[in-house]
A and B are shown apart, each in its own frame.
Chain A
Amino acid sequence: MAFLRQLDSSSKACQLAVVPSAVLCAVFSDAFVEMSVKAFELVPAVERDLLMGDKARINIECIECCGKHLYVGTNDCFIHHFLLDEVTSSKGKLSYSAQKLLHKYLGLKKPVAELRAASALERLIVLCDGIVFLIDMVTLETVPSAAGGGAKIRGVTAFCINENPVNGDPFCVEMCVLSSKRRTVQIYMVYEDRVQLVKEVSTPEQPCAVSLDGYFLCLALATQYMILNYNSGASQDLFPYNSEERRPILKRIGREEFLLAAPGGLGMFANAEGVSQRAPVNWSEGVIGAAVCFPYVVALDENFITIHSMLDQQLKQTLSFRDGHILQDFEGKVILASTKAVYVLVPLPLERQIQDLLASHRVEEALTLTEGAQRNIPKDKFQVLHKRILQQVGFIQFSQLQFREAREHFRKGQLDVRELISLYPLLLPASSSFTRCHPPLHEFADLNHLAQGDQEKVLLYKNFLISYLGEVRNTEVVNVCREDVDTALLKLYAEQDHESLLDLLASDNTCLLTDSIPWLEKYHKYFALGLLYHYNGQDSAALQLWIRLADGDLQDSTRTDLFEYIVDFLSSCSNLDLVWTYADWALLKDPTIGMHIFTKRPLSKDVSQLNPDDVITYLGKHSQALLLYLEYLVLERRIQKEKFHTHLAVLYLERVLSLQSQSPTDEAQLTTARERLQALLRESNLYLVQLLLDKMENCEQLLLERATLYGKLEEHERALHILVHQLRDFRSAEAFCLWASSCRDSAYRQQLFHLLLGVYLDGSHRGQSHAVAAGGSGELEMAAVDLLNRHGEVFDAISVLRLLPESWSLQLLRPFLGRAVRASMHACRTSQIALGLAHSENLQLLHDRLKERKKQILVSEKKGCHLCHNTFSEPDVVCLPGAVPVHTHCVAHRVRDSPTKRLLTNSSNHT
């Protein structure tokens, strides 16, 4: 009696009535141990009544399945042939219907020990009563032996078919046979009507089980497993195993890889080289049969079917199965038999297994299973599946606050970030077209659902989103939804008072204005809102907002230097209308800083420039600002325009005059004001001198300024007169001479200094003759002496000597005279040297010329002219320095085209 109880029998209940899913879950978790996965379902294929009815002594001995054909061998020497059809119910439930085609008594009264189909030959290979023979797959009739070859092998204990034969012949099957007496393994070729021994190899001990791949025999001997290459005879011991104690299992699971029952109930993997490349799985001691259905290892013992994953070696599912007898896989289909009935172990769709794992939050296993299936699924399909699983795993980890892992999985799974954003209420812009994917990636409604009102958690979630969005916003993943991402980020930054808000708005962004305005206003991020307006080209709105903020109508402490910011903004604002509109406000608030609107304007071509005349007109009512602006134009930008220079000079003068008229006068201020005026008067050549002279006609105090102005008019005598006689400031007089001649030649300077000397000497004569003041005339004399001693080099010594009064002592003028004599000597000697050098150069050239003349110059028809590279046709040549012969016309040409010559002709043309 086969008793079967599937642990997941709840599936029946499911079909019978609509059971609330919660109840189903309860049943499910009750029946399953925590670790389990539902990877397979056990489906009956052939029931008892189809096979032996109520005959109790009849048992199933072996099975073979080939396509839809199922063969069952029994202990009463019968073979039953069934047609097995898969039936899928409307609900997707798989079942099998078996139709009995034939049964046949083999006539040996012994159990049918093994059955193998050779479908290409339409033969079944049968082992019964120690004899291997062939029967027809359809009629089940024994195949008669062909002439010249037998179709029977006697004395056989076990055989196996090579599923990966080296021999390429499709119409024969390679079979390996273990015989009961000799310690040998025989290789046969099985043909339609005969078997042919091709190889016999001996083994160190009696083999009791065999599996075959290529040339490799995997053998279970009495005390160990070994690999034997029947072609080369090379062998490789695997590991000890007592085959008498426990039935060995050896199962080919792939190319040159076998699964073996090992001591301690292990399922051990070994390849043909004797290396274990996968970690073993842990079975029970009493395993009867095993098979691989990737990625699972299925094993059968007396009471259970156990299913281990090859990926992590863990036990994944256990199915109760009494009287289990046979477990074999046929072309990927795992079939089991109890002694009385046959079942198919149907793998559940991979995706369902993965979803089951995810539903119980077993993310690692789900990922391992997904990734393990990579080679079994078409590439594009796998990628879709893998991405989805990664995303789901990410959300599970996200819900468990495992943000590092979640981030990694979102990234790998190329998650549409809106899936994540949509969990946070109000973050997605109202205009977003996003809808969550279906089926959903997670079970959460929103953040409140996730955090269950725990504000700390909410904060963690928000911080995660901030860092995640910040990370992905510049990647391709968000190409389709940049607006949504940037807007969400802006909202989060604003809400969390995050410092990156300004960086976001100041750099390239796609924040949606309509969605962001109310949000920024709500969190009083007015400065940021201004930036957003500006980014969206609404500078006027930005300025209005900022000005309200600067005036204290709105509160936002983002920037303490907001006023400077606005000024700076206006100074680089390309919309001039805005500049004119808001400059007033800025100048009224602080003219010095406000002026920067005009003075700090970048001078690049990208920024539209202001017309200085317009600015000056505009600044008419802001006198201080006007002065600053003119200073900027004249002193900083050095604009060479008479109007500005005169205007500035007049403003300076007015300032000096107004300071002078104050009483008491602020000397310090006055001095600075005068210094500015004087500097401008000295350095600028553009202002209207006469205008300024007229303006200061009545001011006796501004003598120095007047002297400068006379200097500008080249009325040096008048200027020096003022300086020497009115101001008696000899230092200034000297400085005047230096300044007034600074851009002129030395003769002009000499002339000026002589003039000054003349003024001194005249003054002193006049002083003596008129006897105004003895001290005064002496003072002028001393000034003259000082002048000569200090600036001796400027003067023409001879004419000075003529001017000087006889009475002056030599000692007094010693520095002047010494320098004058030395300079004269120096000039004399220098010219002598120059003369000598010129002489010698001339001689040298003469010498060279003579040398050149003596040299031969070879001219032939084969030789080319260096200028035009044509050959010479006549003996007339011109010789260039270095004995280079060239055509006469080439030289003429060259001389005509030489740059100096061309210059001359050009200039003559133009004039």
Chain B
Amino acid sequence: MPEASKMKKPDVKLVLLGDMNVGKTSLLHRYTDRKFKDTVSTVGGAFFLKQWGPYNISIWDTAGREQFHGLGSMYCRGASAVILTYDVTNWQSLAELEERFLSLTDTASHDCIFAIVGNKVDLTDPKAQLSQDSSGVSEDQTEHEEERTEPQVLSSCPTPPASPASLSGITVHKQVAHEDAMALYGRILRYKGLEEKSSLPAERMCFETSAKTGYNVDALFETLFDLVLPSILRKRNENQQCPTIDLEECRGASSKRARFCC
């Protein structure tokens, strides 16, 4: 059910990035609607407001299509967390993260955290075929078993639409190992000029998920929500210090002023 709180101002922003057809929209659907639904290729972007304790977290689902690539930095601006999503059955989708999407995060908040998520792991990993999600997933699963219709089938999508066979144990070749994602995480830290020691460890920030079965999906989002809380508090603090902000004034002067008055 969509939140009734559409008009609330979000406290913090999470952005899902990644090539088309890796399952960004499905991940968000699975988390918010507890379902694996038929999705169409996202146009532009969409967002969802999640109430997390006393905070409103906006989660932006972006379009993976090349056509909308230019808009990515708009969505990423000021983001507190970026979820870089790839498809474990598609090596190229991981490569694209580094080639195309990483630069979009330049506009993100300076303390932005990164998660790397390999989706569709139910296709390669038997343990992910059993849903972890307790609430009524089993029925959804049967309901939607034949509905994994990837949009734009004409494109070079290496994953076939989900068929009953995929659940009965026949797995697809896994092209991206968990270690590859962890290595990418290390490179991202270097790209951002961050110390590996002082950053969140790769084991914690690299996930393998299945939007279809719900495997690891809650863990992904909720880990990130907990990790961005400090960022919310910091933002609130800043707002309290200068309740009415003239953005232009603040940019140059207020930081200096704050330093003096202390």
Contact = CB atoms under 8 A, between A and B. Distances in A.
Interface in A347-399: 364, 367-368, 371-372, 374-375
Contacts of B73: 237, 239
A240 interface: yes
Q: Report, as a range, how many residues of chain A touch the other chain.
A: 35 or more
B68 A266 contact: yes
7 contacts: A229-B248, A240-B70, A262-B71, A263-B71, A266-B71, A275-B77, A282-B44
Contacts of B7: 371-372, 374-375
Given A280-B43, A280-B44, A280-B45, A372 B6 contact: yes
Contacts of B248: 215, 229, 231-232, 234
Interface in B14-68: 43-47, 60, 65, 67-68
Contacts of A272: 247
Given A234-B251, A239-B71, A263-B70, A279 B78 contact: no
Given A239-B74, A364-B2, A266 B247 contact: no
Interface residues of B, number: 25
Contact of B77 (A273, A279, A280): A273
A263 B251 CA distance: 31
A595 to B, nearest CB: 58
Interface of B: 1-2, 4, 6-7, 43-47, 60, 65, 67-68, 70-71, 73-75, 77-78, 107, 247-248, 251
Nearest to B249: A232
B72 to A, nearest CB: 8
- Nearest first, the 3 A-B pairs at minimum CB distance are A280-B44, A240-B70, A239-B70
B50 to A, nearest CB: 15
A679 B44 CA distance: 98
Given A313-B46, A372-B7, 12 more contacts: A239-B73, A262-B44, A262-B68, A262-B70, A263-B68, A263-B70, A268-B71, A364-B2, A367-B4, A371-B4, A374-B7, A375-B7
Contacts of A282: 43-44
A263 B45 CA distance: 13
Contact of B2 (A229, A238, A368, A374): A368
Interface in A231-260: 231-232, 234, 237-241
Interface in A590-613: none
Given A231-B248, A234-B251, A263-B67, A364 B44 contact: no
Contacts of B4: 367, 371
A266 B44 contact: yes
Contacts of A215: 248
Contact of A273 (B6, B44, B78): B78
A210 B144 CA distance: 48
Contacts of A367: 4
A215 B60 CA distance: 29
A71 B251 CA distance: 43
Contacts of B247: 272-273
A232 B247 CA distance: 11
A274 B74 contact: yes
Given A239-B70, A274-B77, A274-B107, A279 B44 contact: yes
Contacts of A238: 74
Contacts of A274: 74, 77, 107
Contacts of A692: none
A841 B163 CA distance: 107
A270 interface: yes
A368 B6 contact: yes
Contacts of A279: 44-47, 60
A371 B71 contact: no
Nearest to A279: B46
A266 B43 contact: yes
A616 interface: no
Given A368-B2, A371-B7, A270 B43 contact: no
A276 interface: yes
Instruction: Pick the most buried of A231, A280, A367: most chain B CB atoms within 10 A of its CB.
Output: A280
Given A275-B78, A276-B75, A364-B2, A264 B68 contact: yes
Contacts of A237: 73
A215 B78 CA distance: 21
A312 interface: yes
Instruction: Pick the most buried of A268, A270, A367: most chain B CB atoms within 10 A of its CB.
Output: A268
A264 B74 contact: no
A367 B2 CA distance: 10
A311 interface: yes
Contacts of B60: 279
A239 B4 CA distance: 31
A743 B82 CA distance: 92
Contacts of A234: 248, 251
A232 B246 CA distance: 12
B81 to A, nearest CB: 15
Contacts of B251: 232, 234
Contacts of A262: 44, 68, 70-71
A312 B43 CA distance: 13
Nearest to A232: B248
Contact of B6 (A232, A275, A371): A371
A241 B77 CA distance: 18
Nearest to A272: B247
A312 B2 contact: yes
Contacts of A275: 74, 77-78
B74 A276 contact: yes
Contacts of A224: 70
Interface in A181-234: 215, 224, 229, 231-232, 234
A268 B44 contact: yes
A313 to B, nearest CB: 7
A728 B104 CA distance: 116
B46 to A, nearest CB: 5
Contacts of A281: 44
Contacts of B43: 264, 266, 280, 282
A270 B74 contact: yes
Given A275-B78, A279-B44, A372-B6, A264 B1 contact: no
Contacts of B107: 274
Interface string A714-753: 0000000000000000000000000000000000000000
A275 B2 CA distance: 23
Nearest to A256: B247
B48 to A, nearest CB: 9
Contacts of A263: 67-68, 70-71
Contacts of B2: 312, 364, 368
Contacts of B1: 364, 405
A422 to B, nearest CB: 28
Interface in A423-472: none
Given A231-B248, A273-B247, A268 B6 contact: no
B251 to A, nearest CB: 7
A280 B71 CA distance: 10
Interface string A304-341: 00000001110000000000000000000000000000
Contacts of B46: 279, 313
Nearest to B61: A279
A884 to B, nearest CB: 63
A364 B4 CA distance: 9
Contacts of B45: 276, 279-280
A375 B7 CA distance: 10
Interface in A280-313: 280-282, 311-313
A330 B251 CA distance: 34
A90 B47 CA distance: 44
Nearest to B63: A264
Contacts of B74: 238-239, 268, 270, 274-276
A237 B107 CA distance: 11
A294 to B, nearest CB: 11
Contacts of A374: 7
Contacts of B6: 311-312, 368, 371-372
B128 to A, nearest CB: 30
A282 B70 CA distance: 16
